Each structure stands twice: as C-alpha cells, then as structure tokens.
Amino acid sequence: MLTEGQVMDISREAIYTIILTAAPLLLTSMIIGLIVSIFQTVTSIQEQTLTFVPKVLAMFAIMLLIGAWMLNNMSGFMVKLWSNFSLYV
C-alpha cells in the first residue's frame, strides 16, 4: 500500500524528470526566440512567423543531438517505477 510520503516522492521525482528532460528544448527555444526578436527589433521587421522556422529547425537539431539521452532519462524513470510496482500494490 502506498503511503503519502511515497506518493509525494514519486511525484517529486516525476516532476524533476520532466523538467530535466524538457529543459534543453525549452532553453534552446527561448534562446532562439530571443535572438530572432533582437534581430526583428534591429531590422524593424515585425513578421510574426519569422521565429517559427528557426525554432523548429533548432528543436530538430537538439532532438537529434540529445534525443537518446532524453529517451534514456524517461525510460530510466519508468523502469524504476515498474521495478518497484510490487511495493506499491
């Protein structure tokens, strides 16, 4: 039977895993958006769709570079949950 403490530990670890896994993509998107917005300000180009293509390309590049790490991070968390499943029931 799960106790409140175990549920909180699982929830905390799940949130930490989500943040750790999503951080590279979110940071890349934020940095690319900042660079493009500075470029738009300097050149007075106010096109809303201008940030879309660089962000998508950067996301694909980051996924190619660290996708395996992200998958291993998520898989490790799920394996840990399933290996301890008998303790939770």
Q: Tens digits of per-residue pLDDT, 20-71?
A: 999 999 999 999 999 999 999 999 888 888 889 999 999 999 999 999 999 9
Burial class (CB in 10 A: 0-12, 13-18, 19+), 40: middle
State residue 11 phi and psi, 5-degree precision. Answer: -65, -45
Q: What residue segments make up the domains of the chain, in order of their start?
A: 11-82
- Dihedral sign computed on CA atoms, order 12, 14, 20, 22: negative
Whole-number Å distance between alpha carbons of 87 and 89: 6
Q: How much is the pTM? A: 0.81
CB 28 within 8 A of CB 58: yes
Helix (H, G, I), strand (E, B) or coil at 21: helix
> Is the pLDDT score of 89 beyond 80?
no
